[in-house]
Structure 1
Amino acid sequence: MKHLVAKIHPADNVLVALTDLPIGTPVAAGGRTVTTTAAIPAKHKLTLHALAVGDAVTMYGVLVGRMRQPVPAGGLLTTANIQHATDGYTESQARAPWTAPDVVPWQGRTFQGYHRADGRVGTANHWLVVPLVFCENRNIQVLQEALVDDLGYGRRNSYRPQTQALIELMQAGKSVEEILQADLAGAPDGRAQPRLFEHVDGVHFLTHEGGCGGTRQDAQALCGLLAGYVTHPNVAGATVLSLGCQNAQVSMLKDEIAKRDPHFSKPLLILEQQKIGTEEALISQALRQTFAGLMLANDQRRRPAPLSKLTLGLECGGSDGFSGISANPALGHASDLLVALGGTVILAEFPELCGVEQELVNRSVTPETARRFTSLMKAYGDAAVAAGSGFDMNPSPGNIRDGLITDAMKSAGAARKGGSSPVVAVLDYPELVTQPGLNLLCTPGNDVESTTAEVGSGANIVVFTTGLGTPTGNPVAPVVKVSSNTKLALRMPDIIDLNTGTVIDGEETIEQAGERILDYLVRVASGETEVSAVRHGQEDFIPWKRGVSL
């Protein structure tokens, strides 16, 4: 049964509108009835009782803002009458025991994965072509042109037939108006060339703008991130192009690889342009060696693996006022199930943990873990303020338009992706995840930078919740898109994989939605189900240059 409003936590003094509420609508929640004194759009918040200037606004049981203007009971919260505010936090812990969910139905469940020499298991089998410096981006693109289409990894949906149709219309003397109104018919055509290497899922080219010209710390972080991708369980091997004189030296990359895998044994092909000479010689060698590497990668086969070998990256982007009450808590339940099964979960986006720090401190398994979290959070927040910004500026125009009007409100809902399990480790970008359980990874809230970082830290599958829709993907890890609302799932079915708007619609519980997410992830991890981002060739890769990015 669908309700009109939701009260998330017993201590909350605001409600979430689950549908558009005209002025004068009586709504009941928490044993009280209030009548709307303004039109409340779906996803937005209305006050449960009158609030005066300076009063606290509580959602999810935490402070998410303070009133800057008085609002009567049943009134609409807006950026004009509320401002961002959070409670402080310390390293002191008030720990509570965790009650793990029942995982008996999942015991013995496996997925079909690629077993690597370091003990990790991949959900896919890719080859990487990586530049150590932006100077090599053009050579990377030349290799991409030479390899992708002929090996059968070209774009599946090509719009070239439509371009050809437009050319023909122009050559036939049609006017601009006629061309704009023309029916181009013909859906995008399919991939013409079959895949040559049946057991290699893709060849991916990770161009970037780093490697030189910045600080040595930037180069070190880039090499750490690239090492995370080269050693990633979804990667069979890599071709690396180096110019030779850049800050990000080959030796630096090898050191970072050794940190992550001391016994690294995958094929790693390194070519340095300043040693080899001409472009033709460089590309010829790179093509020959990469083709030979792909032949070796094609020998890999999927074998059963326990669910404890899954490392799940948790991401959200284009969030809305329903994200924190449908998609995120459902993903949180899936996360708790995976942790209880011995798996690994990564919760990142530190600017979107603003206001829930004390809860995460209390969930930390050791004082040292709590201390590292608070230290990274404070350093990040101070850096943002020093740059003339702040976490309070994190919500985007789309977030605000759809009900997330303070960063604390956004963060309190975003953090629910991490479920309720203990925090076993806190990592700084671009460190590798090594401990099973819930890990916190310091990244920006930027969707692509954060997703890029989570995969670099070892996520072999990512779940990305969204309320507004985004095509974001990743070169080596499948990115599963989960909609917070049914309208989005119906409007953008080409990018949404799962819909948890069913929770808002009263069709299933958060727990049922979470179990459905985990079941879907097992099928994706086994290669049985292809997610939309993979199908569209969405391969977003943006290293975080360690400045202020919210």
Structure 2
Amino acid sequence: MSDTIRLRPEDDVAVAARALEAGVAVEGTRTLGLVPSGHKIALRAIAAGEPVRKYGQIIGYASEAIPAGAHVHTHNLAFRGTDHAYEFGTDLRPAPAPEMRDTFMGYRRASGVVGTRNYVAVVTSVNCSATAARRIADAFGPEELAAFPNVDGVVAYVHGTGCGMAGDGEGFEALQRVMWGYARHPNHAAVLMVGLGCEMNQIDWLLEAYGLEHSPTFQTMNIQNVAGLRRTVEAGIAKVRAMLPAADEARREPCPASDLTVALQCGGSDAWSGITANPALGHACDLLVAQGGTGVLAETPEIYGAEHLLTRRAASPEVGERLVGLVEWWEDYTARNRGSMDNNPSPGNKRGGLTTILEKSLGAAAKGGTTPLAGVYKYAEPVRARGFTFMDSPGYDPASVTGQIAGGCTLVCFTTGRGSAFGSKPAPTIKVATNSELYARMTEDMDVDAGTILSGGTTVEAKGREIYEMFLRVASGEATKSEAQGLGDHEFVPWQIGAVM
């Protein structure tokens, strides 16, 4: 493997493939000092104020004169807001028809949707009912569930909002979409919703707005109506116990890969994310789309500076305009809160070699592969289009994934370079390490090692195929590393938009 990687001929920087001392020869120049692994080296003299390119795109502007061979990072590379002339549908590359139609063993529900897991859910409307929900779910341990081998577990979805909020507007609507999405998620065989009774986020309003009806596998209750916490927990346990036999009747059956909807996520990113794991996940997304399945990219602040590449793939001007509208909303949102879009990358991202949000976004967008952008959705909105899609969300992983799952994702694929212990329910998370050192260090957490792309042991396409094939195995019941460790009970985090009152 070479000491450096230059991603495009027009790039002004190369990436150090290992820690480099001063004096190492790099493409016609020599390093002027220590450059950590994954960090950038100037390949030419760059004047102060000049744009700096990586991935063939601008990642920032020189905040001072940068000599050839210098380490390029936060001390000499500055962020500026994007100002793109957007193009729509100028880079449409439909996925080729696959040679064969793939299948997995899934749970086909009465509504026609297909799940990859079979849980009983206890969903809260407000933080005030969180303790009740936890106690209801905790009552069902391995001993009792052993009698229901087709049930993956009883899960409580609790959160810190639901009251002290406006009764309409973006925040309220987003929370209602999350609750509806979890109430009707394909990976849930039965659902019990638990509220307090006086909260702003009324369960009855949700039932009316979304046409939800009580049934043996869908029940609701409020602590105030039941007359206290203890009685609510007792009644809730009885309701779940009555649901378990019906949930256990579900059986896996062959289902086409077109029935899969996969959340495309990254967290704890490093410089290798955009070179190994994210492009490999993008190729896996292309393979899934070719089968008629759906990939859902999210984290709007983390495509900032790369959104112009996605609008070129928009299936229609309306789809492209909707994406641009989301970016403009975030620019206004951060300005109103006296923030900056460059607040991301995080300190850990920067230690891993990422300098600006523009650089991070260009790597993050690679998770979406190359096929047309078929749809753009609000946070937690049901994803109806097949193919590659985008959902608005913050970059905060638990909140983002909660929205994707509410939108219908039945699997999550999560790339990481610094390391992540993320997991999710009811949709299992597959974690992909960007480098082999991380994979070896966190082997109990990582499912796939994309670092072999750096060493030349495999290609992006071959690793993408490996990830895609893991989609099918996990969708059929194979446990991921995060599932084996029981993760997912505390990662339900609805995005809280707006003032707390």
TM-score range (shorter-chain normalised) is over 0.9
Partner residue of 2:34? 39
Partner residue of 2:130? 137
Partner residue of 1:535? 484
Q: State the distance in 2 between where 1:325 and 1:354 align.
A: 18
In the alignment, which of 206, 219, 242 is matched to residue 292 of structure 1?
242
In the alignment, which of 139, 144, 153 is matched to residue 202 of structure 1?
153
Q: Which of structures 1 and 2 has the bigger CA Rg?
A: 1
Deviation at 1:149, TM superposition (A): 5.0
In the alignment, which of 335, 347, 359 is matched to residue 409 of structure 1?
359
Partner residue of 1:63? 58
1:64·1:86 contact (CA, 8 Å) conserved in 2? no
Residues 22 and 121 of structure 1: is their aligned pair in 2 closer, same or farther, counting only changes over 3 Å?
same
Moved more, 412-421 or 216-225: 216-225
Partner residue of 2:104? 111
Deviation at 1:474, TM superposition (A): 1.1
Q: State the distance in 2 between where 1:289 and 1:436 align.
A: 36
Q: Secondary structure at the match of 2:26?
A: strand
Using the size of structure 1 for normalisation, the TM-score is 0.87
**Cα distance per residue 1:164-184 (max 9 Å; x no partner):** xxxxxxxxxxxxxxxxxxxxx
Partner residue of 1:190? none
Q: State the distance in 2 between where 1:395 and 1:279 align.
A: 43
Residues 289 and 264 of structure 1: is their aligned pair in 2 closer, same or farther, counting only changes over 3 Å?
closer
1:91·1:371 contact (CA, 8 Å) conserved in 2? no
Say yes or no: does 1:27 pair with 2:22.
Answer: no
Say yes or no: does 1:123 pair with 2:120.
Answer: no
Q: What's the RMSD between the two structures over aligned residues?
A: 1.7
1:63·1:87 contact (CA, 8 Å) conserved in 2? no
Q: Secondary structure at the match of 1:293?
A: helix
2:375·2:388 contact (CA, 8 Å) conserved in 1? yes
Q: State the distance in 2 between where 1:310 and 1:478 align.
A: 13
**Partner amino acid, structure 2, of 1:151:** E
Partner residue of 2:334? 384
Partner residue of 1:155? none
1:50·1:72 contact (CA, 8 Å) conserved in 2? yes
Partner residue of 1:171? none
Partner residue of 2:7? 8
Partner residue of 2:455? 505
Residues 14 and 266 of structure 1: is their aligned pair in 2 closer, same or farther, counting only changes over 3 Å?
farther
Q: State the distance in 2 between where 1:10 and 1:460 align.
A: 39
**Cα distance per residue 1:482-508 (max 9 Å; x no partner):** 000000000011111111000011111
Partner residue of 2:443? 493
**Cα distance per residue 1:390-426 (max 9 Å; x no partner):** 1111111100011001110111101100011111111
Partner residue of 1:472? 422
Partner residue of 1:430? 380
Partner residue of 2:187? 234
Q: Secondary structure at the match of 1:455?
A: helix
**Cα distance per residue 1:434-458 (max 9 Å; x no partner):** 1101111000000111111111111
| 1:74-473 map, 5 Å | 74-85=69-80, 87-93=82-88, 95-101=90-96, 103-104=98-99, 107-148=100-141, 150-152=143-145, 195-216=146-167, 217=169, 218-255=171-208, 257-258=210-211, 267-473=217-423
- Which portions of structure 1, spanning 4 or more consecutive aligned residues, are displaced by more than 4 angstroms? 262-266
Moved more, 86-95 or 496-505: 86-95
2:92·2:371 contact (CA, 8 Å) conserved in 1? no
Residues 80 and 547 of structure 1: is their aligned pair in 2 closer, same or farther, counting only changes over 3 Å?
farther
Q: State the distance in 2 between where 1:254 and 1:43 align.
A: 51
Q: Secondary structure at the match of 2:144?
A: coil
**Structure 1: gaps (5+ residues):** 153-194
Say yes or no: does 1:523 pair with 2:473.
Answer: yes
Residues 54 and 206 of structure 1: is their aligned pair in 2 closer, same or farther, counting only changes over 3 Å?
same
Q: State the distance in 2 between where 1:76 and 1:391 align.
A: 24
**Partner amino acid, structure 2, of 1:140:** A
2:216·2:243 contact (CA, 8 Å) conserved in 1? no
* Sequence identity (%): 36
**Cα distance per residue 1:342-395 (max 9 Å; x no partner):** 100100000001111211111111111111111111011111111011111111
Q: State the distance in 2 between where 1:391 and 1:304 align.
A: 44
Q: Secondary structure at the match of 1:214?
A: coil
Residues 135 and 99 of structure 1: is their aligned pair in 2 closer, same or farther, counting only changes over 3 Å?
closer
2:89·2:315 contact (CA, 8 Å) conserved in 1? no
2:264·2:414 contact (CA, 8 Å) conserved in 1? yes
Q: Secondary structure at the match of 1:473?
A: coil
Say yes or no: does 1:546 pair with 2:473.
Answer: no
Q: Secondary structure at the match of 1:323?
A: coil
Q: State the distance in 1 between where 2:187 and 2:352 align.
A: 36
Deviation at 1:27, TM superposition (A): 2.7
Deviation at 1:292, TM superposition (A): 1.1
1:62·1:355 contact (CA, 8 Å) conserved in 2? no
1:14·1:48 contact (CA, 8 Å) conserved in 2? yes
Residues 265 and 404 of structure 1: is their aligned pair in 2 closer, same or farther, counting only changes over 3 Å?
farther
Q: State the distance in 1 between where 2:214 and 2:364 align.
A: 36
